[in-house]
């Protein structure tokens, strides 16, 4: 059975994506410094401590899941925008969309005595309705060491092509053991699950995932990070959490203002006080329509 590939933090995006496309997952080692890990842990600790454990076996009755990280943790924002990881997400997902978006931001704290999670696919968030596209690119950042004893994420390498009803055998699963500051990169199709925590310590991982811009996000970013907070963020992060068009005619709105005091069609940027650059309408779908037309033309040319 294939082991989980491990690569150094400075590996080029193209090499990383090639491995992920082929094997479904890899570990990028020592991406964060000790100081960066400490900063994220310090910012999130009060929220983690106030989070109640899960209410069912899948979410974990000895596991705490804490969200809204974009709004709560400036250090987490840096991880979301990490140049290498974001580059992998964009490269991996771009064949199926014009824009990608942040799907989920969550700290997963697996406590002592937590049994292993059911092996599953994250793409099942949309049921089994999506075929022929890969909708999701995932990361789990180790905020503590990940070991077999404390519940390291379990990965079934090479499982991306398995049918949905395939049951992973114990000998096909590998623990994603890694030092704090490392990150597990994996697709929405690879079979995986949280490991059993047989230790006395809590295993803490930061789950940041990306998806196609035209799909519903698992974590509702507009409520987790409303406009009054989102307007203070880096514009690139604003767009990643959904404050931009997800595709031509996907995501515009009409501000509910008195007659004549606002546009009838506006891109989500309008809610943050941003205006489209270079003129054009507040709708902002022109460049996405152009990209769509180019895609259609390319498909037509290939067909002939």
Task: Give yes or no: residues 63 and 196 share one domain.
Answer: yes
* pLDDT band at residue 72 using 50, 70 and 90 as cut-offs: very high
Task: Give yes or no: residues 183 and 34 share one domain.
Answer: yes
228 within some domain: no
Q: Using one digit for the tens of pLDDT, what is the confidence trace for 173-228? A: 999 999 999 999 999 999 999 999 999 999 999 999 999 999 999 999 999 999 99
164 within some domain: yes
Please name every residue paired with 128 in a beta bridge, in sequence order, or none if there are none.
Answer: none
226 within some domain: no
Q: Which long-range contacts (CB under 8 A, 24 or more apart) does 52-59 make?
A: 53/111, 57/115, 57/118, 58/117, 58/118
Task: Give yes or no: residues 120 and 86 share one domain.
Answer: yes
The DSSP result for 241-295, as a single string, is TT-S-SBTTBS-B----STTSS-SSB-GGGGGT---TTS--SS--HHHHHHHHHH
161 within some domain: yes
Query: What pLDDT, on a 0 to 100 scale, did the predictor assign at position 290?
Result: 65
48 within some domain: yes
Please name every residue paired with 113 in a beta bridge, in sequence order, or none if there are none.
Answer: none
Task: Give yes or no: residues 269 and 212 share one domain.
Answer: no
- Of 186, 220, 254, the domain-final residue: 220
- Please give the residue range of the domain that contains residue 273: 244-303
What is the rounded distance in angstroms from the CA atom of residue 74 to the CA atom of residue 79? 9
Q: Using one digit for the tens of pLDDT, what is the confidence trace for 259-294? A: 999 998 899 999 999 875 444 456 665 665 665 566
Task: Give yes or no: residues 181 and 295 share one domain.
Answer: no
Q: How many domains does the chain have?
A: 2
CB distance 180 to 10 below 8 Å: no
CB distance 158 to 203 below 8 Å: no
296 within some domain: yes
Task: Give yes or no: residues 182 and 250 share one domain.
Answer: no
The maximal CA–CA distance of the chain, rounded, in angstroms, is 66
CATH number of the domain residue 34 falls in: 2.60.120.620
Task: Give yes or no: residues 18 and 136 share one domain.
Answer: yes
Task: Give yes or no: residues 194 and 277 share one domain.
Answer: no
Instruction: Count CA atoms within 13 Å of residue 73 on its CB side.
Output: 28
CB distance 183 to 214 below 8 Å: no
141 within some domain: yes
Task: Give yes or no: residues 214 and 252 share one domain.
Answer: no
* pLDDT band at residue 304 using 50, 70 and 90 as cut-offs: very low
Task: Give yes or no: residues 29 and 103 share one domain.
Answer: yes
Dihedral over alpha carbons 221, 225, 226, 232 (to 10 degrees): -130
pLDDT average, residue stretch 121-144: 96
Query: What pLDDT, on a 0 to 100 scale, did the predictor assign at position 104?
Result: 97
Task: Give yes or no: residues 9 and 112 share one domain.
Answer: yes
- In three-state form (DSSP H/G/I as H, E/B as E, the rest C), the secondary structure along 10-53 is CCCHHHHHHHHHHHCEEEEECCCCHHHHHHHHHHHHHHHHCCCE
Task: Give yes or no: residues 207 and 273 share one domain.
Answer: no
Please name every residue paired with 104 in a beta bridge, in sequence order, or none if there are none.
Answer: 209
What is the rounded distance in angstroms from the CA atom of residue 63 to the CA atom of residue 52? 8
Q: Using one digit for the tens of pLDDT, what is the confidence trace for 222-246? A: 999 999 999 999 999 999 999 999 9
Dihedral over alpha carbons 177, 180, 185, 189 (to 10 degrees): 50
User: DSSP state, 122?
Assistant: G
236 within some domain: no
What is the rounded distance in angstroms from the CA atom of residue 276 to the CA atom of residue 270? 9
- Of 185, 220, 255, the domain-final residue: 220
């Amino acid at each position: 059975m294939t082991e989980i590939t491990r690569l150094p933090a400075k590996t080029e995006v193209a090499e990383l994506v090639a491995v992920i496309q082929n094997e479904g997952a890899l570990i990028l080692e020592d991406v964060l410094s000790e100081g960066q890990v400490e900063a994220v842990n310090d910012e999130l600790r009060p929220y983690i401590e106030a989070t109640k454990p899960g209410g069912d076996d899948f979410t974990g009755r000895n596991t705490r899941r804490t969200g809204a990280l974009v709004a709560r943790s400036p250090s987490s924002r840096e991880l979301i925008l990490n140049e290498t990881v974001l580059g992998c997400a964009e490269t991996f997902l771009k064949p199926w969309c014009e824009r990608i978006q942040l799907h989920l931001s969550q700290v997963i704290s697996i406590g002592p005595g937590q049994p292993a999670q059911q092996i599953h696919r994250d793409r099942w968030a949309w049921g089994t309705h999506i075929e022929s596209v890969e909708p999701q690119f995932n990361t789990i950042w180790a905020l503590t060491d990940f070991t077999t004893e404390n519940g390291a994420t379990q990965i079934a390498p090479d499982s991306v092509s398995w049918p949905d009803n395939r049951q992973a055998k114990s000998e096909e699963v590998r623990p994603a053991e890694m030092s704090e500051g490392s990150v597990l990169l994996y697709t929405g199709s690879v079979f995986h699950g949280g490991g059993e925590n047989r230790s006395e310590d809590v295993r803490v991982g930061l789950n940041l995932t990306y998806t196609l811009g035209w799909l519903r996000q698992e974590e509702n970013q507009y409520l987790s990070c409303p406009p009054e907070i989102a307007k203070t963020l880096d514009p690139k992060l604003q767009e990643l959490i959904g404050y931009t068009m997800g595709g031509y005619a996907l995501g515009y709105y009409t501000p509910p203002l008195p007659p004549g005091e606002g546009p009838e069609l506006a891109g989500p940027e309008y809610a943050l006080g941003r205006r489209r650059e270079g003129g054009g309408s507040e709708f902002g779908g022109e460049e996405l329509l152009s990209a769509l037309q180019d895609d259609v033309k390319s498909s037509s040319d290939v067909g002939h």
